[in-house]
Amino acid sequence: MSTPARRADAVRNRDLALDAAMALLAEPGASLTVGAIAERAGLGAGTVVRAFGGKDALLDAAVARLLEPVVQRARDLIADTTPYQALRTFLRELIAFQAAHHAINDQLTGLDLPLTTALRADLVGAVEEMIEGARHNGQIRTDLDLPATTTLINATAMAVARADPDLTDAYLTVFMDGLSTPNNSTS
């Protein structure tokens, strides 16, 4: 038995709610209530709840939609360049993404977000693959364990994004020099 096709208006309402949630996620300090999302979408709160089942599912879908291209970009860099260059390029792009969306983390604390959690795990896995590949190639030091290295990357990239994204080049130079083996050029 097949499931009935979703009504066109239900699909439209879902898309409107997702777009509204994504727009609000990009606004620091914006209220992420169902009411605020519904108002931005031009829908009733009940319509938004029906489309997603609740605020957590809606925000999870919106954040997942934002993260999917970031994860794909990490995978593309792994496939298209050296692990070291992939890491350096990805960190620059990650800082830009975090600068544009850093308020998201503050809004998501305590919510049930299985799609977002899975994508974050994929993102960490991609970064770990870059690190391990660069280690294997002798470009990144091996005296820092993988969890410590990924934690340093996450924390410092987020700090730069929140403080001043104009520091990205300086951050990348200092950070990559610190990760690099003595015989590796960071250019």
pLDDT digits (tens, 9 = 90+) for 34-55: 999 999 999 999 999 999 988 8
Helix (H) or strand (E) holding 148: helix 146-163
By the 8 A CB rule, do 115 and 61 touch? yes
Which residue intervals of the chain are DSSP H helices? 8-25, 34-41, 45-52, 55-80, 83-101, 103-108, 114-136, 146-163, 168-179
- Asked if 186 and 146 count as a contact pair (C-beta separation under 8 A), the reply is no
At 168-181, the pLDDT tens digits run: 889 889 989 999 98
pLDDT score at 4: 56
For the chain, what percent of residues have pLDDT higher than 70?
Answer: 94
* pTM score: 0.84
Confidence band (pLDDT; 50, 70, 90) for 187? very low
